[in-house]
Chains A and B, each alone.
Chain A
Amino acid sequence: MKIVLRLILLVALAAAGIWLWTILFPSPEKIVRKRLAQAASEVSFKSAENPLVIAARAERFAGFFSTNVEININVPELGQHNLAGRDEITQAAAGARAAVSSLTVEFPDMNITIGPDKLSAVADVSVKVQAAGEKDVYVQEIKFTLQKIGGDWLITRVETVRTLS
């Protein structure tokens, strides 16, 4: 009985050790996943905000992207939209916040592939968007390309993907 208890304790300790290791030293995939979830959370808002908060949060959202980021969105409901650089992202984010009273952005599914150099990543993500007053939830597949720049994973490219070709 003592041996069994010791064995259980040993297994529990090993599991706790592995868990602690993953917390202290997360894999690049986990970091990218967390980073994208933070970006989604940053662009979401629940109620109308004052212009100062809008500007600050739009600026913070742009911080998730590299300075030379390219965004190509092409969906039937919105048409073709291209953005380049952080300034255009800041303006677009601030414009969206001013235009609608609430917006919820979530990434329910992610498939992240880390490059062999461990400094680049591609994330295929399903993006779920719901704006205030809209009954329907909008879902779109989007491909994010990220690079590790100055220790941070930054989004360098965003493009829409046609799920059914």
Chain B
Amino acid sequence: MTLLRTAFWVVVCVVVFKLLLVHVRVDGISMLPTCPDQSVYWVNRLAYVRHAPQRGDVVAIRFIKMDSAIARLEPPGVMLLKRIIGLPGETVAFVNGRVLINGEILDEPYEKSGYDWNSAPVTLGPDEYYVVGDNRSMPPEYHTHGKCERSRIVGKAML
């Protein structure tokens, strides 16, 4: 009976900590000040089962696009941690350090760096999100940001 109970808890732990929650450690400064370098978070992989990702969510994104749903079950070894600012079908642009969504300024209370990025408008496809880090103090070419397909989003970071 003890063996059965142990086996049950082992299965529960594997399911929870391997499939449902993914442990991430931030390496870098692109999500400052929200996520400091070397801070640790859990990513909830079930966050988007019942609803689509929302604007403002901090999400983990896989580098490698996995074609099959079964392959996507395996947690990635490395991920990007970014914030969603643009939703499918929207047009996103940076103008003098402000984000414009469909031509309207996006209020970003989490962004404290004060930046001056400018970019041409980008229209997102039906399955695409625009993601960017909170720290925009560096030139845009040194900051990984842009369109991200839904299938690359692993889950929502629990901040």
Q: Mark A116-138, 1 if CB is under 8 A from B, else 0.
A: 00000000111010000000110
Range for the number of chain A residues in contact with chain B: 10 to 19
A151 within 8 A of B: no
B146 within 8 A of A: yes
Q: Is A163 touching B80 in the complex (CB atoms < 8 A)?
A: yes
Q: Is B65 touching A111 in the complex (CB atoms < 8 A)?
A: yes
Q: Is A109 touching B76 in the complex (CB atoms < 8 A)?
A: yes
| Given known A109-B78, A128-B78, contact A76–B142 (CB-CB < 8 A) | yes
A141 to B66 alpha-carbon distance, docked (Å):
13
B57 to chain A, nearest CB (A): 16
Q: Is A77 touching B65 in the complex (CB atoms < 8 A)?
A: no
B141 within 8 A of A: yes
Q: Is A125 touching B64 in the complex (CB atoms < 8 A)?
A: yes
Residues from chain A with a CB closer than 8 A to the CB of B67 are 111, 113
Q: Considering residues A125, A128, A139, which has the most beta carbons from chain B within 10 angstroms of its beta carbon?
A: A139
Q: Is A126 touching B141 in the complex (CB atoms < 8 A)?
A: no
B148 within 8 A of A: yes
The chain A residue with its CB closest to the CB of B152 is: A163
The interface on chain B, measured as residues whose beta carbon lies within 8 A of the other chain's beta carbons, has a size of 24
| Given known A162-B146, A164-B146, contact A109–B62 (CB-CB < 8 A) | yes
- Within the complex, which residue of B71, B78, B148 is in contact with A164, where a contact is CB–CB below 8 Å? B148
Interface majority SS on A: helix, strand, loop or mixed?
strand
Residues from chain B with a CB closer than 8 A to the CB of A114 are none
Residues from chain B with a CB closer than 8 A to the CB of A141 are 63-64
Q: Mark B61-85, 1 if CB is under 8 A from A, else 0.
A: 1111111000100001110101000
Q: Is B63 touching A139 in the complex (CB atoms < 8 A)?
A: yes
B145 within 8 A of A: yes
B88 to chain A, nearest CB (A): 15
Residues from chain A with a CB closer than 8 A to the CB of B80 are 163-164
A128 to B77 alpha-carbon distance, docked (Å):
10
Q: Is A136 touching B27 in the complex (CB atoms < 8 A)?
A: yes
Q: Is A76 touching B76 in the complex (CB atoms < 8 A)?
A: no
- A–B pairs, 16, beta carbons within 8 Å: A108-B76, A108-B78, A109-B64, A109-B76, A110-B64, A124-B64, A126-B77, A126-B78, A128-B77, A141-B63, A141-B64, A163-B61, A163-B63, A163-B144, A164-B144, A164-B147
